A and B are shown apart, each in its own frame.
Chain A
Protein backbone atom coordinates (compact mmCIF):
# COMPACT_ATOMS: atom_id res chain seq x y z
CA UNK A 1 0.00 0.00 0.00
CA UNK A 2 1.11 3.53 -0.73
CA UNK A 3 -0.21 6.49 1.27
CA UNK A 4 -2.08 9.07 -0.79
CA UNK A 5 0.17 11.75 0.71
CA UNK A 6 3.40 9.97 -0.21
CA UNK A 7 5.60 11.64 -2.80
CA UNK A 8 7.02 9.21 -5.37
CA UNK A 9 10.25 9.94 -7.18
CA UNK A 10 12.70 7.99 -9.28
CA UNK A 11 15.91 7.75 -7.28
CA UNK A 12 19.30 8.53 -8.66
CA UNK A 13 20.36 5.74 -11.00
CA UNK A 14 16.86 5.04 -12.30
CA UNK A 15 15.50 6.76 -15.34
CA UNK A 16 12.65 6.67 -17.78
CA UNK A 17 14.09 6.26 -21.25
CA UNK A 18 12.50 6.41 -24.64
CA UNK A 19 13.91 3.44 -26.53
CA UNK A 20 14.11 4.67 -30.12
CA UNK A 21 15.33 1.35 -31.53
CA UNK A 22 12.30 -0.48 -30.15
CA UNK A 23 9.93 2.48 -30.28
CA UNK A 24 8.80 2.20 -26.71
CA UNK A 25 9.44 3.27 -23.15
CA UNK A 26 11.71 1.58 -20.67
CA UNK A 27 12.68 2.14 -17.07
CA UNK A 28 16.42 1.69 -16.70
CA UNK A 29 17.92 0.81 -13.32
CA UNK A 30 20.68 -1.30 -11.81
CA UNK A 31 20.72 -4.48 -13.93
CA UNK A 32 17.08 -3.92 -14.82
CA UNK A 33 15.49 -2.94 -18.09
CA UNK A 34 11.74 -2.79 -17.58
CA UNK A 35 9.63 -2.20 -20.65
CA UNK A 36 6.68 -0.03 -19.89
CA UNK A 37 3.75 1.20 -21.90
CA UNK A 38 2.80 4.83 -22.56
CA UNK A 39 0.64 4.82 -19.42
CA UNK A 40 3.63 3.84 -17.32
CA UNK A 41 5.60 6.64 -18.93
CA UNK A 42 2.77 9.11 -18.12
CA UNK A 43 2.82 7.99 -14.50
CA UNK A 44 6.59 8.27 -14.11
CA UNK A 45 6.76 11.62 -15.84
CA UNK A 46 4.54 12.94 -13.07
CA UNK A 47 6.76 11.55 -10.29
CA UNK A 48 8.66 14.79 -9.95
CA UNK A 49 9.47 14.58 -6.27
CA UNK A 50 6.94 17.33 -5.53
CA UNK A 51 3.51 15.89 -6.32
CA UNK A 52 1.83 13.45 -3.99
CA UNK A 53 0.36 10.16 -5.13
CA UNK A 54 -3.11 11.68 -4.78
CA UNK A 55 -2.22 14.63 -6.98
CA UNK A 56 -0.73 12.34 -9.62
CA UNK A 57 -3.82 10.14 -9.65
CA UNK A 58 -6.09 13.23 -9.88
CA UNK A 59 -4.10 14.52 -12.83
CA UNK A 60 -4.12 11.19 -14.68
CA UNK A 61 -7.82 10.63 -14.09
CA UNK A 62 -8.59 14.10 -15.43
CA UNK A 63 -6.19 13.94 -18.37
CA UNK A 64 -7.49 10.57 -19.56
CA UNK A 65 -11.11 11.00 -18.41
CA UNK A 66 -10.80 7.75 -16.49
CA UNK A 67 -12.41 6.41 -13.33
CA UNK A 68 -10.33 7.68 -10.43
CA UNK A 69 -10.52 4.50 -8.38
CA UNK A 70 -9.29 2.39 -11.28
CA UNK A 71 -6.49 4.82 -12.06
CA UNK A 72 -5.44 4.78 -8.42
CA UNK A 73 -5.34 0.98 -8.33
CA UNK A 74 -3.24 0.83 -11.50
CA UNK A 75 -0.86 3.54 -10.35
CA UNK A 76 -0.38 2.01 -6.91
CA UNK A 77 0.29 -1.43 -8.38
CA UNK A 78 2.80 -0.01 -10.86
CA UNK A 79 4.64 2.14 -8.34
CA UNK A 80 4.63 -0.47 -5.57
CA UNK A 81 6.30 -2.93 -7.92
CA UNK A 82 9.07 -0.44 -8.70
CA UNK A 83 9.46 0.45 -5.01
CA UNK A 84 9.92 -3.21 -4.11
CA UNK A 85 12.72 -3.37 -6.67
CA UNK A 86 14.35 -0.29 -5.06
CA UNK A 87 13.61 1.61 -8.26
CA UNK A 88 11.26 4.14 -6.74
CA UNK A 89 11.52 6.32 -3.66
CA UNK A 90 8.42 7.11 -1.66
CA UNK A 91 8.90 10.08 0.59
CA UNK A 92 6.30 10.29 3.34
CA UNK A 93 4.45 13.58 3.52
CA UNK A 94 6.28 16.03 5.72
CA UNK A 95 9.65 14.26 5.48
CA UNK A 96 12.48 16.41 4.11
CA UNK A 97 13.71 15.68 0.60
CA UNK A 98 16.97 13.73 0.65
CA UNK A 99 20.00 15.72 -0.53
CA UNK A 100 22.49 12.98 -1.28
CA UNK A 101 22.01 9.32 -0.66
CA UNK A 102 21.97 6.98 2.29
CA UNK A 103 22.56 8.26 5.78
CA UNK A 104 26.17 7.14 5.96
CA UNK A 105 28.50 9.40 7.94
Chain B
Protein backbone atom coordinates (compact mmCIF):
# COMPACT_ATOMS: atom_id res chain seq x y z
CA UNK B 1 0.00 0.00 0.00
CA UNK B 2 1.44 3.38 -0.91
CA UNK B 3 1.46 6.08 1.68
CA UNK B 4 1.45 9.83 1.29
CA UNK B 5 4.48 12.00 2.05
CA UNK B 6 4.62 12.71 5.79
CA UNK B 7 3.60 16.00 7.37
CA UNK B 8 6.09 18.60 8.51
CA UNK B 9 4.08 20.28 11.25
CA UNK B 10 1.68 19.28 13.99
CA UNK B 11 -0.56 21.79 15.73
CA UNK B 12 -1.31 20.43 19.19
CA UNK B 13 -4.36 22.08 20.74
CA UNK B 14 -3.50 20.92 24.23
CA UNK B 15 -6.57 22.58 25.74
CA UNK B 16 -9.31 24.98 24.73
CA UNK B 17 -9.08 26.73 28.11
CA UNK B 18 -7.79 30.26 27.68
CA UNK B 19 -7.81 33.47 29.70
CA UNK B 20 -8.42 35.55 26.57
CA UNK B 21 -11.61 35.93 24.54
CA UNK B 22 -10.34 37.06 21.15
CA UNK B 23 -13.25 37.38 18.68
CA UNK B 24 -11.21 35.79 15.87
CA UNK B 25 -10.03 32.71 17.74
CA UNK B 26 -9.22 29.81 15.42
CA UNK B 27 -10.74 27.29 17.85
CA UNK B 28 -14.19 26.04 16.88
CA UNK B 29 -17.34 27.71 18.21
CA UNK B 30 -17.96 24.56 20.26
CA UNK B 31 -14.93 24.59 22.52
CA UNK B 32 -13.87 21.30 24.06
CA UNK B 33 -14.11 21.17 27.83
CA UNK B 34 -11.37 20.18 30.27
CA UNK B 35 -13.08 16.88 31.07
CA UNK B 36 -12.37 15.54 27.56
CA UNK B 37 -8.72 16.61 27.37
CA UNK B 38 -6.13 13.97 26.60
CA UNK B 39 -3.91 12.98 29.49
CA UNK B 40 -0.15 13.51 29.62
CA UNK B 41 0.81 9.99 28.58
CA UNK B 42 -1.43 10.12 25.52
CA UNK B 43 0.06 13.41 24.37
CA UNK B 44 3.55 11.99 24.83
CA UNK B 45 2.63 8.99 22.72
CA UNK B 46 1.20 11.31 20.05
CA UNK B 47 4.44 13.30 19.95
CA UNK B 48 6.53 10.14 19.76
CA UNK B 49 4.38 8.94 16.86
CA UNK B 50 4.62 12.35 15.22
CA UNK B 51 8.42 12.29 15.32
CA UNK B 52 8.50 8.76 13.90
CA UNK B 53 6.05 9.74 11.16
CA UNK B 54 8.30 12.59 10.04
CA UNK B 55 6.83 15.64 11.75
CA UNK B 56 9.64 18.14 12.30
CA UNK B 57 7.93 20.97 14.19
CA UNK B 58 5.27 20.84 16.85
CA UNK B 59 3.24 23.89 17.78
CA UNK B 60 2.14 23.67 21.40
CA UNK B 61 -1.06 25.64 21.32
CA UNK B 62 -4.64 25.75 22.51
CA UNK B 63 -6.47 27.76 23.94
CA UNK B 64 -3.61 28.65 26.22
CA UNK B 65 -1.18 25.68 26.32
CA UNK B 66 0.38 26.78 29.61
CA UNK B 67 -3.00 26.32 31.28
CA UNK B 68 -2.02 22.65 31.33
CA UNK B 69 -0.13 21.67 34.47
CA UNK B 70 1.94 19.20 32.44
CA UNK B 71 3.17 21.71 29.87
CA UNK B 72 6.80 21.44 31.01
CA UNK B 73 6.71 17.64 30.93
CA UNK B 74 5.11 17.69 27.48
CA UNK B 75 7.71 20.15 26.19
CA UNK B 76 10.55 18.05 27.58
CA UNK B 77 9.18 14.99 25.82
CA UNK B 78 9.01 16.83 22.49
CA UNK B 79 12.66 17.79 22.89
CA UNK B 80 13.60 14.21 23.81
CA UNK B 81 12.04 12.79 20.64
CA UNK B 82 13.75 15.43 18.50
CA UNK B 83 10.75 17.59 17.65
CA UNK B 84 11.32 21.33 17.28
CA UNK B 85 8.93 22.90 19.76
CA UNK B 86 7.11 26.18 19.37
CA UNK B 87 5.01 27.52 22.23
CA UNK B 88 2.07 29.58 20.98
CA UNK B 89 1.00 31.59 23.99
CA UNK B 90 -0.92 34.61 25.24
CA UNK B 91 1.64 35.04 28.08
CA UNK B 92 -1.22 35.41 30.55
CA UNK B 93 -0.65 32.99 33.42
CA UNK B 94 2.97 32.23 32.52
CA UNK B 95 5.24 33.44 35.30
CA UNK B 96 9.02 33.65 35.01
CA UNK B 97 9.48 30.36 36.87
CA UNK B 98 7.37 28.49 34.34
CA UNK B 99 9.13 30.16 31.43
CA UNK B 100 12.52 29.21 32.90
CA UNK B 101 11.31 25.63 33.33
CA UNK B 102 10.12 25.48 29.72
CA UNK B 103 13.44 26.83 28.48
CA UNK B 104 15.34 24.33 30.59
CA UNK B 105 13.09 21.53 29.29
CA UNK B 106 14.29 22.31 25.77
CA UNK B 107 11.68 24.62 24.31
CA UNK B 108 12.99 25.96 21.01
CA UNK B 109 10.81 28.95 20.22
CA UNK B 110 8.09 31.18 21.61
CA UNK B 111 5.31 32.79 19.63
CA UNK B 112 3.46 35.52 21.52
CA UNK B 113 0.13 36.97 20.49
CA UNK B 114 -0.06 40.76 20.60
CA UNK B 115 -3.49 42.18 19.91
CA UNK B 116 -2.59 45.81 19.20
CA UNK B 117 0.12 48.44 19.69
CA UNK B 118 -1.54 50.06 22.68
CA UNK B 119 -3.02 48.55 25.79
CA UNK B 120 -6.53 49.99 25.51
CA UNK B 121 -7.24 48.52 22.09
CA UNK B 122 -5.30 45.34 22.84
CA UNK B 123 -7.17 44.60 26.05
CA UNK B 124 -10.52 45.33 24.39
CA UNK B 125 -9.77 42.86 21.58
CA UNK B 126 -8.51 40.20 23.99
CA UNK B 127 -11.40 40.77 26.35
CA UNK B 128 -9.06 40.95 29.36
CA UNK B 129 -7.88 44.07 31.17
CA UNK B 130 -4.16 44.04 31.84
CA UNK B 131 -3.36 41.40 29.22
CA UNK B 132 -1.22 43.68 27.08
CA UNK B 133 1.05 44.70 29.95
CA UNK B 134 1.56 41.05 30.88
CA UNK B 135 2.57 40.28 27.30
CA UNK B 136 5.20 43.01 27.25
CA UNK B 137 6.74 41.77 30.49
CA UNK B 138 6.70 38.20 29.21
CA UNK B 139 8.39 39.20 25.95
CA UNK B 140 11.19 40.87 27.89
CA UNK B 141 11.66 37.70 29.92
CA UNK B 142 11.86 35.59 26.74
CA UNK B 143 14.52 37.92 25.35
CA UNK B 144 16.45 37.88 28.63
CA UNK B 145 16.55 34.08 28.59
CA UNK B 146 17.68 34.12 24.96
CA UNK B 147 14.87 32.10 23.42
CA UNK B 148 13.83 33.33 19.98
CA UNK B 149 10.59 35.26 20.01
CA UNK B 150 7.99 35.73 17.32
CA UNK B 151 5.24 38.28 17.75
CA UNK B 152 1.98 37.16 16.16
CA UNK B 153 -0.21 40.14 15.34
CA UNK B 154 -3.69 39.25 14.11
CA UNK B 155 -4.84 42.12 11.90
CA UNK B 156 -8.39 43.39 11.53
CA UNK B 157 -10.33 46.61 11.46
CA UNK B 158 -9.39 47.71 15.00
CA UNK B 159 -5.62 47.59 14.47
CA UNK B 160 -4.93 47.64 10.72
CA UNK B 161 -3.89 51.30 10.92
CA UNK B 162 -1.41 50.58 13.70
CA UNK B 163 0.86 48.21 11.83
CA UNK B 164 3.84 50.62 11.86
CA UNK B 165 3.48 50.93 15.64
CA UNK B 166 3.22 47.15 15.99
CA UNK B 167 6.42 46.75 13.99
CA UNK B 168 8.17 49.23 16.28
CA UNK B 169 6.87 47.44 19.36
CA UNK B 170 8.10 44.12 17.98
CA UNK B 171 11.58 45.56 17.48
CA UNK B 172 11.57 46.99 21.00
CA UNK B 173 10.68 43.59 22.41
CA UNK B 174 13.70 42.01 20.75
CA UNK B 175 11.72 39.59 18.59
CA UNK B 176 13.39 37.98 15.59
CA UNK B 177 10.11 37.55 13.71
CA UNK B 178 6.79 39.21 13.27
CA UNK B 179 3.72 37.55 11.79
CA UNK B 180 1.24 40.00 10.31
CA UNK B 181 -1.70 37.65 10.26
CA UNK B 182 -4.78 39.10 8.66
CA UNK B 183 -7.84 37.43 10.13
CA UNK B 184 -9.03 34.30 8.37
CA UNK B 185 -12.82 34.13 8.48
CA UNK B 186 -13.79 30.81 10.00
CA UNK B 187 -15.39 29.90 13.29
CA UNK B 188 -15.33 32.82 15.73
CA UNK B 189 -13.95 35.19 13.10
CA UNK B 190 -16.75 34.26 10.72
CA UNK B 191 -19.25 35.01 13.51
CA UNK B 192 -17.59 38.36 14.12
CA UNK B 193 -17.07 39.37 10.48
CA UNK B 194 -19.06 42.56 10.79
CA UNK B 195 -16.84 43.67 13.66
CA UNK B 196 -13.52 42.61 12.16
CA UNK B 197 -13.47 42.99 8.39
CA UNK B 198 -11.27 45.86 7.17
CA UNK B 199 -11.81 47.92 4.03
CA UNK B 200 -10.02 46.78 0.89
CA UNK B 201 -8.09 50.04 0.65
CA UNK B 202 -6.84 49.54 4.20
CA UNK B 203 -5.72 46.01 3.34
CA UNK B 204 -3.80 47.25 0.30
CA UNK B 205 -2.22 50.03 2.35
CA UNK B 206 -1.26 47.52 5.03
CA UNK B 207 0.42 45.29 2.46
CA UNK B 208 2.49 48.25 1.24
CA UNK B 209 3.52 49.11 4.81
CA UNK B 210 4.63 45.54 5.39
CA UNK B 211 6.58 45.38 2.12
CA UNK B 212 8.46 48.57 2.95
CA UNK B 213 9.24 47.44 6.47
CA UNK B 214 10.34 44.00 5.32
CA UNK B 215 12.90 45.51 2.94
CA UNK B 216 14.10 48.11 5.45
CA UNK B 217 14.48 45.58 8.27
CA UNK B 218 16.09 42.79 6.27
CA UNK B 219 18.50 40.92 8.52
CA UNK B 220 17.03 42.52 11.63
CA UNK B 221 13.43 41.36 11.70
CA UNK B 222 11.79 38.68 9.61
CA UNK B 223 8.26 39.73 8.71
CA UNK B 224 5.88 37.07 7.45
CA UNK B 225 2.52 38.28 6.24
CA UNK B 226 -0.51 36.09 5.72
CA UNK B 227 -2.53 38.26 3.39
CA UNK B 228 -6.30 38.08 3.27
CA UNK B 229 -7.41 36.26 0.16
CA UNK B 230 -10.98 37.60 0.08
CA UNK B 231 -9.67 40.78 -1.53
CA UNK B 232 -7.30 38.88 -3.82
CA UNK B 233 -7.67 37.22 -7.22
CA UNK B 234 -6.46 33.76 -6.26
CA UNK B 235 -6.88 31.82 -3.02
CA UNK B 236 -4.11 30.87 -0.65
CA UNK B 237 -2.77 27.33 -0.47
CA UNK B 238 -4.63 26.75 2.76
CA UNK B 239 -2.49 24.78 5.25
CA UNK B 240 -0.15 24.14 2.32
CA UNK B 241 -2.77 21.90 0.75
CA UNK B 242 -5.22 19.52 2.44
CA UNK B 243 -3.36 16.67 4.08
CA UNK B 244 0.01 17.69 2.64
CA UNK B 245 2.09 19.48 5.24
CA UNK B 246 0.36 19.62 8.57
CA UNK B 247 -2.20 18.16 10.92
CA UNK B 248 -4.09 19.41 13.92
CA UNK B 249 -4.88 17.42 17.10
CA UNK B 250 -7.76 18.74 19.22
CA UNK B 251 -7.82 18.63 23.04
CA UNK B 252 -9.87 15.42 22.99
CA UNK B 253 -7.61 13.79 20.43
CA UNK B 254 -9.51 14.20 17.17
CA UNK B 255 -7.11 14.70 14.28
CA UNK B 256 -8.05 17.32 11.73
CA UNK B 257 -6.52 18.40 8.42
CA UNK B 258 -7.09 21.99 9.53
CA UNK B 259 -8.52 23.73 12.57
CA UNK B 260 -11.90 24.50 10.95
CA UNK B 261 -12.46 21.11 9.30
CA UNK B 262 -15.12 20.03 11.79
CA UNK B 263 -17.45 22.58 10.18
CA UNK B 264 -17.56 20.34 7.11
CA UNK B 265 -20.43 17.86 7.38
CA UNK B 266 -20.00 14.18 6.56
CA UNK B 267 -16.27 14.10 7.28
CA UNK B 268 -15.14 11.26 9.51
CA UNK B 269 -12.42 12.31 11.94
CA UNK B 270 -10.33 9.65 13.62
CA UNK B 271 -8.99 10.01 17.13
CA UNK B 272 -5.54 9.32 18.55
CA UNK B 273 -7.33 7.36 21.27
CA UNK B 274 -8.23 4.74 18.65
CA UNK B 275 -5.67 5.02 15.87
CA UNK B 276 -1.99 5.72 15.44
CA UNK B 277 -1.09 9.10 14.05
CA UNK B 278 0.45 7.45 10.99
CA UNK B 279 -2.75 5.56 10.22
CA UNK B 280 -4.79 8.72 10.62
CA UNK B 281 -2.49 10.72 8.34
CA UNK B 282 -2.27 8.04 5.67
CA UNK B 283 -5.73 6.48 5.76
CA UNK B 284 -8.05 8.72 7.79
CA UNK B 285 -11.18 9.46 5.72
CA UNK B 286 -11.14 13.15 6.57
CA UNK B 287 -7.57 13.39 5.27
CA UNK B 288 -8.38 11.50 2.10
CA UNK B 289 -11.48 13.59 1.38
CA UNK B 290 -9.72 16.57 -0.26
CA UNK B 291 -6.15 15.40 -0.64
CA UNK B 292 -4.54 15.99 -4.03
CA UNK B 293 -6.58 17.13 -7.03
CA UNK B 294 -8.91 14.24 -7.90
CA UNK B 295 -11.81 15.68 -5.88
CA UNK B 296 -11.75 19.06 -7.65
CA UNK B 297 -14.69 20.31 -9.68
CA UNK B 298 -14.24 22.59 -12.66
CA UNK B 299 -12.78 25.15 -13.11
CA UNK B 300 -10.22 23.91 -10.54
CA UNK B 301 -9.74 20.52 -12.14
CA UNK B 302 -8.38 22.07 -15.36
CA UNK B 303 -6.72 25.04 -13.69
CA UNK B 304 -3.01 25.60 -14.20
CA UNK B 305 -2.71 26.65 -10.54
CA UNK B 306 -4.24 23.54 -9.00
CA UNK B 307 -0.93 22.32 -7.64
CA UNK B 308 0.00 25.81 -6.46
CA UNK B 309 -2.97 26.63 -4.26
CA UNK B 310 -4.42 23.11 -4.06
CA UNK B 311 -7.91 24.52 -4.50
CA UNK B 312 -7.66 27.06 -1.70
CA UNK B 313 -9.77 26.61 1.40
CA UNK B 314 -12.51 23.98 1.83
CA UNK B 315 -13.85 25.57 4.98
CA UNK B 316 -14.17 28.94 3.30
CA UNK B 317 -15.91 27.30 0.34
CA UNK B 318 -18.33 25.67 2.76
CA UNK B 319 -18.95 28.85 4.73
CA UNK B 320 -19.84 30.93 1.68
CA UNK B 321 -21.30 28.41 -0.77
CA UNK B 322 -22.64 25.64 1.46
CA UNK B 323 -20.51 23.10 -0.42
CA UNK B 324 -17.09 22.12 0.89
CA UNK B 325 -16.07 20.78 -2.52
CA UNK B 326 -16.94 23.98 -4.38
CA UNK B 327 -14.38 26.33 -5.87
CA UNK B 328 -13.05 28.59 -3.13
CA UNK B 329 -14.97 31.86 -3.61
CA UNK B 330 -11.75 33.76 -2.88
CA UNK B 331 -10.74 32.77 -6.40
CA UNK B 332 -11.93 35.19 -9.06
CA UNK B 333 -12.78 32.15 -11.22
CA UNK B 334 -15.47 31.12 -8.72
CA UNK B 335 -19.05 32.05 -9.66
CA UNK B 336 -19.45 33.19 -6.02
CA UNK B 337 -16.45 35.53 -6.04
CA UNK B 338 -18.38 38.73 -6.63
CA UNK B 339 -20.75 37.81 -3.83
CA UNK B 340 -17.86 37.10 -1.43
CA UNK B 341 -16.38 40.47 -2.24
CA UNK B 342 -19.74 42.20 -1.74
CA UNK B 343 -20.20 40.49 1.63
CA UNK B 344 -16.69 41.49 2.68
CA UNK B 345 -17.24 45.09 1.65
CA UNK B 346 -20.59 45.24 3.45
CA UNK B 347 -19.01 43.78 6.60
CA UNK B 348 -16.19 46.30 6.35
CA UNK B 349 -18.72 49.12 6.47
CA UNK B 350 -20.66 47.59 9.35
CA UNK B 351 -20.49 48.29 13.01
CA UNK B 352 -20.84 45.50 15.51
CA UNK B 353 -19.73 44.57 18.99
CA UNK B 354 -17.50 41.55 19.49
CA UNK B 355 -19.13 38.23 20.28
CA UNK B 356 -16.30 37.22 22.59
CA UNK B 357 -14.90 33.73 22.41
CA UNK B 358 -15.98 31.52 25.27
CA UNK B 359 -17.70 28.33 26.35
CA UNK B 360 -21.43 28.06 25.82
CA UNK B 361 -23.38 29.79 23.05
CA UNK B 362 -21.68 32.86 21.57
CA UNK B 363 -23.15 36.09 22.93
CA UNK B 364 -25.28 37.59 20.16
CA UNK B 365 -24.02 40.90 18.78
| Interface, chain A (partner B; CB < 8 A) | 11-15, 17, 19-22, 26, 28-31, 33, 83-86, 98, 100-102, 104
Q: Is the CB of A15 within 8 A of B143?
A: no
Q: Is the CB of B146 within 8 A of A101?
A: yes
List residues 81-110 of chain B with CB under 8 A from any CB of chain A.
Answer: 82, 84, 86, 108-109
Mark the stretch among B37-45, B50-58, B251-259, B294-302 that contacts chain A: B50-58
Q: Is the CB of A85 within 8 A of B82?
A: no
Q: Given the known A-B contacts A86-B176, A101-B146, are A31 and B54 also in contact in the complex, defined by CB atoms under 8 Å?
A: no
Q: Which residue of B lies closest to A30 (CB)?
A: B109
Q: Is the CB of A101 within 8 A of B56?
A: no
State in angstroms the CA–CA spacing of A31 and B223 once bound together: 11
Contact among A12, A26, A31 for B147, CB-based, below 8 A: A12
Chain B's nearest CB lies how many Å from the CB of A58?
A: 26
Q: Given the known A-B contacts A15-B84, A30-B109, are A101 and B219 also in contact in the complex, defined by CB atoms under 8 Å?
A: no
List residues 200-243 of chain B with CB under 8 A from any CB of chain A.
Answer: 218-222, 224
Q: Is the CB of B219 within 8 A of A86?
A: yes
Q: Is the CB of B54 within 8 A of A17?
A: no
State in angstroms the CA–CA spacing of A98 and B176 once bound together: 16
Q: Is the CB of B8 within 8 A of A100?
A: no
Q: Is the interface of B mostly helix, strand, loop or mixed?
A: mixed
Q: Is the CB of A104 within 8 A of B143?
A: yes
* Closest 3 pairs (CB-CB, A-B): A21-B54, A101-B146, A13-B148
- Residue count of chain B within 8 Å CB distance of chain A: 33
| 27 A–B pairs (Cβ distance < 8 Å), ordered by A | A12-B148, A13-B108, A13-B109, A13-B147, A13-B148, A17-B56, A17-B82, A17-B84, A19-B54, A28-B56, A30-B86, A30-B176, A31-B150, A31-B177, A31-B179, A33-B56, A83-B219, A84-B218, A85-B222, A86-B177, A86-B221, A98-B146, A100-B145, A100-B146, A101-B147, A101-B174, A102-B174
Provide the residues of chain B in CB contact with A22, threshold 8 Å.
6, 54
Contact among A13, A14, A31, A104 for B140, CB-based, below 8 A: A104
Contact among B86, B144, B220 for A100, CB-based, below 8 A: B144
State in angstroms the CA–CA spacing of A33 and B221 once bound together: 18
List residues 21-61 of chain B with CB under 8 A from any CB of chain A.
Answer: 52-54, 56-57
Query: Besides the contacts A12-B147, A100-B144, A104-B174, what 17 more A-B pairs have beta carbons closer than 8 Å?
Result: A12-B148, A13-B108, A13-B176, A17-B84, A19-B54, A21-B52, A30-B109, A31-B150, A33-B9, A83-B219, A84-B219, A85-B222, A86-B148, A86-B176, A100-B146, A101-B143, A101-B174
Chain B's nearest CB lies how many Å from the CB of A11?
A: 7
Interface string of B149-165 (1 = CB under 8 A from A): 01000000000000000
Contact among B218, B220, B224 for A31, CB-based, below 8 A: B224
Provide the residues of chain A in CB contact with B86, threshold 8 Å.
30-31
Chain A's nearest CB lies how many Å from the CB of B141?
A: 9
Q: Is the CB of A33 within 8 A of B147?
A: no
Provide the residues of chain A in CB contact with B224, threshold 8 Å.
31
Provide the residues of chain A in CB contact with B143, threshold 8 Å.
101-102, 104
State in angstroms the CA–CA spacing of A102 and B174 once bound together: 6
Kindly name the residue among B57, B140, B174 whose own CB sees the greatest number of chain A CB atoms within 10 A.
B57
